[in-house]
Amino acid sequence: MPELPEVEVVRSGLAPAVTGATVTRVEVLEPRSLRRHEGPTEDFVERLTGARLAAPERRGKFLWIPVDGRREALVVHLGMSGQVLLRDPGVARDRLTRVVLEIDQPGHGPLRVDFVDQRIFGSMALDQLGPASDHPEQLLPSQVSHIARDPVDPHFDDELFLRRLAKRDTGIKRALLDQTLVSGIGNIYADEALWAARIHYDQPTRALSRARAATLLAEVRLVLGRALAEGGTSFDATYVNVNGASGYFSHSLNAYGQHGRPCGRCGRPIVREQFMNRGSHFCPFCQRVRLGR
């Protein structure tokens, strides 16, 4: 599933094309891609046609494009395999295209925004905007209101995160994946940050010292920063940016997907264990559970 770096790459790629653009035509090829839209397909088409789009925004893995002059936004959820592609109007569509937005960008002219989704787990929806509980001046779609800030958000509160983490009674990886505590960290980047901080994925949060928790938060930021610089992580053709290009952070992974290969620190094999219907990748020697703080 696309995580923070992949969604941010899409957001930044969309920004110059859609900011200030007017939607001239909307075509829904797969109604299931509107499952999170409250209303029929016709409502989505009518409300979006003629709308002027503002700059795209993101919180964690959630992406939305505010509609200028209205308290609503186009929320884009990539799901497992969603792609948002910018195309010239005459370019042939991908056979897995689910929703098409034709837009007119002042200074550029007509463009096409194609929502492509192989598994149809992603979606588009028009949603109402309301004040964020942690920063009332920021408006969030209702579908995103429960999502915590992510570690690369300039308003992320480190002290609040560390206090809330210390009160949790769970394993540290479960905490990192809890989008109500901290957003944008999925399985890949949790494994990478835990490896870098030398912390076992099942380390009890109550037995994690504040210093080690602060180190982990710093490593999360470093891992996310490197992934952003490298365009995200692509293992196949599913994840691409708005131009259809793949990210290459997969070449920099130290833990995720590396089971059986030597640890980059100690040389012992990286191990994969079942975890929450997915896998956790770690070094049993470098990342041991510690019960004392």
Structure tokens at 237: 């053709």
User: How many whole angstroms separate alpha carbon 25 and alpha carbon 32?
Assistant: 19
Candidate list 3, 8, 57, 219, residue with the active-site label? 3
Candidate list 210, 261, 278, 288, residue with the active-site label? 278
Structure tokens at 82: 């969603």
User: How many whole angstroms separate alpha carbon 282 and alpha carbon 142?
Assistant: 36
Is 3 among the residues known to form the active site?
Answer: yes
User: How many whole angstroms separate alpha carbon 33 and alpha carbon 201?
Assistant: 34
Residue 8: exposure state from Cβ atoms within 10 A (0-12, 13-18, ≥19): buried
| Beta carbons of 224 and 8 less than 8 angstroms apart | no
Helical H segments across the chain, by residue range: 4-18, 41-48, 158-167, 172-176, 187-197, 210-229
Structure tokens at 162: 């560390």
CA nearest to 128, candidates 71, 44, 65 = 71
Candidate list 58, 61, 112, 149, residue with the active-site label? 61
Is 167 among the residues known to form the active site?
Answer: no
Cα 276 to its chain centre, rounded Å, is 19
Which residues belong to the active site? 2-3, 61, 278
